[in-house]
Structure 1
Amino acid sequence: MEDQLGALGLVVNAITLWNTAYLDMILGRLHADGYPVREADVARLHLYWHRHINVAGHYSFTPPDLDSDGRRALRDPGTDDGQM
């Protein structure tokens, strides 16, 4: 049981790091592109309210196309593609 809890903690930490890195990258891009980003909205961002966090136990490990810095490209904030 302790091993399972330790593995769960590792997964939660990995999700937190992943989401923090991408949210930082997204906010930086929005600021650089001149989109209005209010600090009150940024304060309400939550690291775990995203569709890619799947608690049902089914995961896809298909590697995404990555940029030269090892991250996937961000979507254009001016388009509505139905993603969160």
Structure 2
Amino acid sequence: MGRWRSAPRGACPRTTRGPMEDLVGALGLALTALVLFNTRYMNAALTQLRADGFDVRDEDIARLSPFVRHHVNMLGRYSFQLPDLPGGLRALRDKNAANDE
């Protein structure tokens, strides 16, 4: 009966500790990469807006969140062969182009 003792609050039961920690670590890594990607592109977009003369207010920026994920396919296959892009970022969308979403 001692085998089924409950784990301390917030801890994984001993029988699933290894695989569960691997899963949590992988999800944490994916989330960190997603937030980094979004943060870099949000910064590039804000820089472009300011360069184009738009009034970008700090109170509006404070409400932005880099945890937007609708553009990420969590179930797909990915290639990590990065193209050689100027500044390491792909071009931002053209505001005059047709919206394909």
Q: TM-score per shorter chain, which class?
A: 0.7 to 0.9
1:17-56 paired onto structure 2 within 5 Å: 17-55=36-74
TM-score (norm 1): 0.73
TM-score (norm 2): 0.63
- Which one has the bigger helix percentage? 2
CA distance in 1, matches of 2:49, 2:68: 19
In the alignment, structure 2 segments of 5+ residues that lack a partner are 1-19
CA distance in 2, matches of 1:81, 1:50: 18
In the alignment, structure 1 segments of 5+ residues that lack a partner are none
Supply the RMSD in Å over aligned alpha carbons.
2.5
Give aligned-pair identity as a percent.
39
The alignment covers a number of residue pairs equal to 82
Does 1:16 find its partner at 2:50? no
User: How big is each residue's C-alpha offset from its partner over 1:3-26, in whole Å with a ceiling of 9 and x where there is no partner?
Assistant: 111011111111111111111111
- Max radius of gyration: which structure? 2
